Copies of this chain bind each other. A is one copy, B any other.
Amino acid sequence: MPDDFERMWTDLAPVGRSATSGGYFRQPFASAERELAAWFVEQCAARGLRVESDDFGNVVGWWDVGDGPAVLTGSHLDSVLDGGAYDGPLGVVAALAAVDLMRSRGVVPNRPVGVSVFVEEEGSRFGLACLGSRLATGATSWESARELRDRDGVPLGDVVGGGSSTLLDGVGTFVELHVEQGRDLVDRGAAIGVASEIWPHGRYRFDFTGSANHAGTTRMEDRQDPMLTYAMTALAANKQARVAGQRATFGRIAVEPNGTNAVPSRVTAWLDARCSTDDALASLVDEITRQGSERAGRDGTSLSVTAESVSGSVAFSPALAADVAADHEGGDWPVIPTQAGHDAGILSAAGIPTAMLFVRNPTGISHSPLEEASVADCLVGVSALADTLDRLAR
């Protein structure tokens, strides 16, 4: 008998967990995440699911029943640096448990059902979010992706073979279950929600260049200090996003030479920006760039901005969302937008009808050890996903 939800969850809990923060470090193609990937293959085998992998590290466990277009469900196993337990793994573990629940209920789908794991969803190692699903759908070519490098300079092409993927060839519908990354469901008093859309979002590298110099002997007026240009730009980004009701974050920075007694020669910082419309996103980034460049002129530094990845707005199929959300015991599930990117957005943009289920997060916090979901809500999520697969695979 395969492990049940709680047993699976308990088994995964220690893998890649920091004893200091309680957060998770599950970087793609590194030890903790690879341990989870191996665990996933074992769990598929225990359920008699046929395992199919592609050349990018994406994996599907197939329940080969019925015929016609398959229904795929799953999420990812990687985490951001010091992330929470739920973002990603909850959708994978819930998918395996949902298969078990359907079987225990005697449900035999009329279509094949697959449980999927896409690699590097967070983009925390190679800088491009949803990398696995982008490669599987062809949204990103292997030729361009293979040269992406991690912080140690290792190219993606050195850690995975690359080539092609046929995982999605027979897929008619995709469903991703995910912990909510805000407090909408808490506010609505609902354990489960359905996604309406994903806000457009992008990552932009801001390179501020100045001149290294001695921090003691260099007069303030003789400096070209890129840290100052950066600091003003970070404050401007926050202010612009607040004023416009959008989101802008500088959460990652690299300084050269990063010595206490040296004025830096260079500050590189990454802007994460998300807006309700594509136009609003472009305007926000333009305005932040304009203010940063103006300050650079005053600081004697320079600023160049590179868009590392930009994802346009994704509207999930309204009909599918309505179908998934309607007619449940206790009423319809709320349909809500999300500002977070997901593999579901990539598959939807590739033309695969896609839905997302969210499980309530009492803290509303994500990408943090404080991310949370109750066992009760997770089990409601498993049941909701089983119901949804049952509907979609009829």
Contact = CB atoms under 8 A, between A and B. Distances in A.
Nearest to A184: B217
A21 B211 CA distance: 12
Interface in A202-225: 203, 211-222, 225
A201 interface: yes
A272 B366 contact: no
Nearest to A368: B212
A365 to B, nearest CB: 5
A83 B257 CA distance: 9
Contacts of A215: 247, 249, 251, 272, 274, 367
A215 B258 CA distance: 25
Given A220-B241, A241-B220, A368-B265, A259 B213 contact: no
Contacts of A227: 234, 250-251, 253
A260 B252 contact: yes
A182 interface: yes
A150 B238 CA distance: 33
Nearest to A246: B220
Contacts of A127: 260
A232 interface: yes
Contacts of A238: 220, 225, 228
A18 to B, nearest CB: 10
Interface stretch (A46-54, A162-170, A338-346): A338-346
A217 B252 contact: no
A54 to B, nearest CB: 25
18 contacts: A82-B212, A122-B259, A127-B260, A181-B214, A181-B216, A199-B216, A201-B216, A213-B365, A213-B368, A213-B370, A215-B247, A215-B274, A231-B235, A249-B263, A251-B257, A251-B262, A252-B255, A262-B368
Interface of A: 21, 23, 80-83, 122-124, 127, 129, 181-182, 199, 201, 203, 211-222, 225, 227-228, 230-232, 234-235, 238, 241-242, 247-253, 255-265, 270, 272, 274, 338-341, 364-370
Which 6 pairs of residues, A with B, have the shortest CB-CB distance?
A212-B368, A181-B217, A215-B249, A82-B257, A81-B257, A231-B231
